[in-house]
Homo-oligomer: A and B are copies of this chain.
Amino acid sequence: MTRGRPLAFSPDQAIAQAMQVFWAQGYNSASTRDLLAAMQISRSSLYQAFGNKEQLFLEALHRYRDNLVARLQRTLTASPSALAFIEGLFRDTARDACSERAALGCLIFNSASELGQRGDAPSREAAVAVAAIRQLFHQAVLQAQEEGDIDAGRDAAMLANYLTLSMAGLRTLLKSGASAEDAGGAVEQVLTGLR
């Protein structure tokens, strides 16, 4: 089986760089020039390896989602309790208000907000990614109920929606320049509602 000339770049690294561009600029505003510069590959290589801008975005968003969910799963496992995981996640996000990471927001919520319900593949992928976050919160709530930190009689799916809504809102609040104090106060109110 003939192979031909090998790739001069790592597709994984290239996608990771593209992800950063989409993260910082959004899908529509990220130009192929920006992407090529960040990925350090030629125009031909991009279209040869990834098809087009839309497919590259789908790969980048998928990668972001997988990385995020995996990281949160690990954090959840390492936490003393599911409730502590949820509280830590929200408090850490609020505490990080002034970082450039906070200014970027979350690629998933950014994409959901930008692409809305357009019906094309990027829009659907964004909705799938939001659903993945909701599912992770759902799992955490169920675990917290088993651990006795959240009343078992409450609707776990509803609380998962509530936490997804709250995290999305927190990210928007931070994007609008909210201080760590303002964000932290609101987050405590969100968490109070959990118990």
Contact = CB atoms under 8 A, between A and B. Distances in A.
A126 B175 CA distance: 10
Interface of A: 26, 28-29, 103-105, 109-110, 112-114, 116-117, 126-127, 130-131, 155, 157-159, 161-162, 164-173, 175-178, 182-183, 185-186, 188-190, 192-193
B28 A172 contact: no
A185 B168 contact: no
A172 B169 contact: yes
Contact of A165 (B117, B155, B157, B169): B169
Contact of A164 (B112, B157, B173): B173
Contact of A177 (B28, B127, B176): B127
Contacts of A185: 155, 157-158, 161-162
Nearest to A109: B172
B113 A175 contact: yes
A96 B167 CA distance: 21
A29 B113 CA distance: 13
Nearest to A172: B168
A116 B168 contact: no
- Of listed A117, A127, A183, residue having the most chain B CB within 10 A: A117
29 contacts: A104-B116, A105-B113, A105-B116, A109-B113, A109-B172, A112-B172, A112-B176, A113-B113, A114-B114, A117-B175, A117-B177, A127-B177, A130-B176, A131-B176, A155-B185, A157-B185, A161-B183, A162-B185, A162-B186, A162-B189, A165-B172, A165-B173, A166-B166, A168-B168, A168-B169, A168-B173, A169-B172, A172-B172, A193-B193
